[in-house]
Structure 1
Amino acid sequence: MKKKVILMTLFCAAMTGSDMAAQKADAAPPAVQPGETSQWRPMLHYAPRQYWMNDPNGPVFYKGVYHLFYQYNPMAAEWGNMSWGHATSTDLLHWQEHKVAMISNAERDVFSGSVVVDRDNTSGLGTVENPAMVALYTSVFKAGTGHEPGVQAQSLAYSRDGGYTWQAYKKDPVLTLAPASKNFRDPSVTWYAPGKYWVMTAVVADAPVIKLYKSDNLIDWTFLSDFGPAGFVRPGMLWEMPSLFALPLDGDTARQKWVMMIGVNPSSIAGGSGTAYFVGSFDGTTFQAENLPPAGSDPSAYNWGDHGADRYAVMLFSGRPTGAPLTIGWMNNWDYATAVPTAPWKGQMTLPMTASLKTVSGRPQLCFAPDAHYTALVAKHPSHSFSALKLDAEQRVLPDAARGDVLDIQLEIQAKGAKKAGVVVRASADGTTGTRIVYDFEHHTLSLDRSRSGKTDFSPHFSPVHIVNMSADQAMSAHIIVDRSSVEVLALDGSVVMTDLIFPPAGADHVIAFAEGGSAEFKQLRITPLSDGIASE
């Protein structure tokens, strides 16, 4: 989230209600700029028109509109001047960017947080007829504010017009640590129905520990308990962006479990920053993790929300009245986020995905699936099937109908003696460039290899290969979503996700199927090109 605490002062007035209101007008998109890398601008994923973006903040659904707030530098394509950017959508695919919602100023930077719709007006900041949106966010105070520079505490703002303008609350901050901390941040708020109160999770990032609080009104907070350190922890590791939520196990509401999801950085499963989670119980006061591996276990023994390198700070959309929890994360990694070769923007979001809890390989695991809006988009477009394709220790460039820089791929491979098999996406015709999704039938692993995916020399930390252990089957199924600068792979009923950035050259839009060391049958290989799908709708 905010690894480099180098506070760049933006000399503007303190953030008052009128200052926030001045941000209401939509941002005018600038003209295409010299050096713009339009070949890597995503079509399926949200990215701001220009400048720096990292963690999602307070994603919320209200009156048919999805609001996405996010960490944003409104002045440059680098970390700094942390503010809340704002975009809206009705389908999670087409986004309208708005003016900055809450802006950095001479007194503070505005770090991550969450937004809830106060439908019962527990805060008194709206009405039952017109509920207020309430944002709990981290203020990072600067000199001259009565706080030591760099101190982090939780502040509150509210909106009475559906999230377009924001008013700072008179009591500021509403929650601090004693003694004050420079690593107390990332409040995430949810309604705890059995107790009829709000629950906040926030981190002391460098402890690392998650602190739980309760409130009847979103303003006055009482400490409940601590969680952590627990699980896979290494010296120097930060915990960030916690989320606590309940899910029925295998769809059975009588077997409800609680999930604590966190961002970890560094030392995630794929290196740098990543997403981990714990499954357990919550009694309204304390979260207890279940089935933790023995201390010192290999990182793969723990629960990871993604085994790729580029899915961090995953949050849930609040305010959805029904349906599975909907998640979105930052598609990047702190190991190289400042160096990615996109211009004039840096940073994009993952594809929104629903979350469920299923028993996979004998234990409860978070499973992710693309949101129904994306599924409907794919269904509208012609697909091309190459099912029953048989390869004998060879690779085959698929016909031009399968070409595209934005693709949806459904894949099932049956081993017929092959040691490995898979596909290469965003490939050059000669196969020298491309991103390889490989199943190893001997070692039962799934890997994503981006070592020859295109531009990779912008950072020595741009990790080339990511691997995850799978079940010992002689068949592999996967759902692969390809955008102009990313690949997302889902397998094992969505319990395995691999999210990786790629930066392929122009013209690298082929798909290659391959088998190594023997024969393999592609029992399903359905490819749906989507390159013209978003812009034309």
Structure 2
Amino acid sequence: MTVNEWIKDNKAKVNNRYKPKFHFTAPIGWINDPNGFVYFKGEYHLFYQYHPYSAKWGPMHWGHAKSSDLIHWEHLPVALAPDQPYDKGGCFSGTALAVDDELILMYTGHVDENGKIRQVQCLARSFDGIHFQKYEQNPVIDERHVTNTTDFRDPKIFKRSDKYYSLVASTENNIGNVLLFESDDLENWMFKSVFLSAEKNQGKIWECPDLFSLGGKDVLIVSPIAYQQDGFRFANVNSSVWFIGEVDWEKGKFVTETVEEIDSGLDFYAPQTLLDDKNRRIMIAWEQMWGRSIPTDDLGHNWAGSMTIPRQLTYKEGKIRQEFVSEFYDQFHLIDEKEVENDFETEIPPLLEAEFRGDFILKIGTADEYVEISCADQTITVNRSQSGYLIKDGENVSDIRQCQLSSEYVKIALATDVSTSDLIINNDTVFSNTFYPKEEIGKIRIKSEQFIVSTYREKIKI
């Protein structure tokens, strides 16, 4: 039985109790990193790390879906399965590149034999964007190019001028770095440079690199393991950050000006971006985190993991701004907008916007089970410790994340979607979190001296 036949025969076994409506999830099984997020032939394609056979991480496949609006996704056949000597342990993360009428995938072939790990970079191609053929010359980047293939993964493939490039995550002396490789034809590659190396506090390996230009700046995204916490920032053991600066292409080096955490929440990792036909830079990420239990697995629901609502990125006033894509807003219509003196309560809307000048407390849920979002003395606190099923964390037991604001003015956009809450503050700071209430989810309650609140509901489809 093929993997696609197995999915078809077993997907009805999924319990949908905690499945979100507006966040991407797989038909069945485990997902993590988005892969090959790309705009191809008029549609958005999302590939993802996928283990369909259980709700636990396992030998990685590339799941695949496509969409015309970034919200409603059509599940497609699994694009890559671990079936070759160089990838029999898993088809690990990578990226996609549209080349004329072809869609090229570059991924990491993973093999673990008797505790010895080998990770090499491989290619697959498709003309219809659905069926993929692995290159006969795979792997295309391996021990011929580097000495360390133990931690050597997650290629970012792109084209600049008349050459192809690939950024690959690696490590040296337990310090993360990103290596740059170059090719004229996709098949023959050469090592060009160490693109960027971590400082001692910046993690022991940088996973899932992405590179793009935004507002006249170059941006390098990486997801470091063991980035050292700095106040409220980088509180997750596994973080996601963006370096903002400029690429020196002659030397093959990234020159950093600033580095910031992308998302301050408990559940956000391995973001990828694409550029679409509207010239928008759009980002999506895995809305989960390593090292934590996942109630949908513990409860036997046969699925685990979702993606964030896609966000559009812009660069303004020295910072990268984030907002939900317009297609998400298109799903709703404004129900009510009002100025409130002290207390506000409503059935939980899928989208709520509010403006505060000073402190507030917002609770999502019931009197006994809730996620609390509060602001006091320009410090935002998100606390899910009372939200329902315990999410056990072997490395960091805190269910609280915080950030410091630069102003008393706070404008929030809050998307609550069954078991996820995506909170954007001033189009700048973001908290992505999951939670699993034992009872029905309840209401939203807000307390503040004076504020403006807008609630949105899903449009009725005729």
Give secondary structure in 2 for the equivalent of 1:101.
strand
Give me the whole-angstrom Cα distance separating, in 2, the residues matched to 1:63 and 1:26.
29
Matched letter for residue 478 of structure 1: I
Give secondary structure in 2 for the equivalent of 1:507.
coil
Give me the whole-angstrom Cα distance separating, in 2, the residues matched to 1:505 and 1:337.
16
Residue in 1 aligned with 2:93?
112
Which string of whole-angstrom CA distances, capped at 9 and with x for unpartnered residues, describes residues 135-186 of structure 1? 1110113559xxx95211101111112x211111121111114324111110
TM-score, normalised on structure 1? 0.77
Residue in 1 aligned with 2:313?
355
Residue in 2 aligned with 1:253?
none
Give me the whole-angstrom Cα distance separating, in 2, the residues matched to 1:462 and 1:323.
41
| Contact in 1 for aligned 2:165/2:183 (Cα 8 Å) | yes
1:98 aligned onto 2:66: no
Residue in 1 aligned with 2:262?
305
Which string of whole-angstrom CA distances, capped at 9 and with x for unpartnered residues, describes residues 243-288 of structure 1? 111111xxxxxxx110011112234613222211111111324333
Residue in 2 aligned with 1:58?
36
| Contact in 2 for aligned 1:247/1:258 (Cα 8 Å) | yes
Of stretches 267-276 and 334-343 in structure 1, the one that deviates more from structure 2 is 334-343
Residue in 2 aligned with 1:525?
453
Give me the whole-angstrom Cα distance separating, in 2, the residues matched to 1:149 and 1:101.
27
| Contact in 1 for aligned 2:11/2:27 (Cα 8 Å) | no
Matched letter for residue 191 of structure 1: K
The percent of aligned pairs where both chains have the same amino acid is 23
Residue in 1 aligned with 2:304?
346
Matched letter for residue 244 of structure 2: V
> Does the C-alpha gap of structure 1 residues 529 and 504 become closer, same or farther in structure 2, counting only changes over 3 Å?
farther
| Contact in 2 for aligned 1:337/1:347 (Cα 8 Å) | no
Cα offset, 1:358, TM superposition: 1.7
1:424 aligned onto 2:363: yes
Residue in 2 aligned with 1:181?
149
1:157 aligned onto 2:96: no
> Does the C-alpha gap of structure 1 residues 186 and 504 become closer, same or farther in structure 2, counting only changes over 3 Å?
same
Cα offset, 1:490, TM superposition: 0.9
Give me the whole-angstrom Cα distance separating, in 1, the residues matched to 2:352 and 2:403.
20
Residue in 2 aligned with 1:511?
444
- In structure 1, which of residues 273, 280, 293 is the aligned counterpart of residue 238 of structure 2? 273
1:436 aligned onto 2:372: yes
Which string of whole-angstrom CA distances, capped at 9 and with x for unpartnered residues, describes residues 116-152 of structure 1? 1112xxxxxxxxxxx11111110113559xxx95211
Give me the whole-angstrom Cα distance separating, in 1, the residues matched to 2:198 and 2:391.
35
Residue in 1 aligned with 2:53?
75
Q: Which residues of 2 match residues 138-537 of structure 1 at below 5 A?
A: 138-141=108-111, 149-161=116-128, 163-176=129-142, 177-192=145-160, 195-205=161-171, 206-231=174-199, 233=201, 237-248=204-215, 256-267=216-227, 269-284=234-249, 285-292=251-258, 302-317=259-274, 320-336=276-292, 341=298, 343-359=301-317, 364-378=318-332, 381-385=333-337, 387-391=338-342, 396=343, 398=345, 402-404=346-348, 407-415=350-358, 420-425=359-364, 427-428=365-366, 431-440=367-376, 442=377, 444-459=378-393, 461=396, 463-471=398-406, 473-492=407-426, 494-515=427-448, 520-522=449-451, 524-530=452-458
Cα offset, 1:289, TM superposition: 3.4
Cα offset, 1:189, TM superposition: 1.5
Give me the whole-angstrom Cα distance separating, in 2, the residues matched to 1:214 and 1:40.
44
Give secondary structure in 2 for the equivalent of 1:84.
strand
| Contact in 1 for aligned 2:418/2:441 (Cα 8 Å) | no
Matched letter for residue 464 of structure 1: D
Cα offset, 1:30, TM superposition: 4.1
> Does the C-alpha gap of structure 1 residues 503 and 266 become closer, same or farther in structure 2, counting only changes over 3 Å?
farther
Give me the whole-angstrom Cα distance separating, in 1, the residues matched to 2:278 and 2:245.
23
Cα offset, 1:459, TM superposition: 4.1
| Contact in 1 for aligned 2:293/2:393 (Cα 8 Å) | no
Residue in 2 aligned with 1:128?
none
Matched letter for residue 527 of structure 1: T
Give me the whole-angstrom Cα distance separating, in 2, the residues matched to 1:316 and 1:213.
20
> Does the C-alpha gap of structure 1 residues 457 and 376 become closer, same or farther in structure 2, counting only changes over 3 Å?
closer
Residue in 2 aligned with 1:17?
none
| Contact in 2 for aligned 1:274/1:309 (Cα 8 Å) | no
Cα offset, 1:199, TM superposition: 2.3
Give me the whole-angstrom Cα distance separating, in 2, the residues matched to 1:373 and 1:382.
15
| Contact in 2 for aligned 1:59/1:67 (Cα 8 Å) | yes
Which string of whole-angstrom CA distances, capped at 9 and with x for unpartnered residues, describes residues 491-534 of structure 1? 13x2211111111233222010113xxxx201x2011133x76x
Give secondary structure in 2 for the equivalent of 1:150.
strand
Matched letter for residue 264 of structure 1: P
Unmatched 5+ stretches in structure 2? none
TM-score, normalised on structure 2? 0.89
Which string of whole-angstrom CA distances, capped at 9 and with x for unpartnered residues, describes residues 196-248 of structure 1? 3222111104531101122222222232221343357256x321000111111
Give me the whole-angstrom Cα distance separating, in 2, the residues matched to 1:290 and 1:169.
35
Alignment RMSD, CA only? 2.6
Number of aligned pairs?
Answer: 446
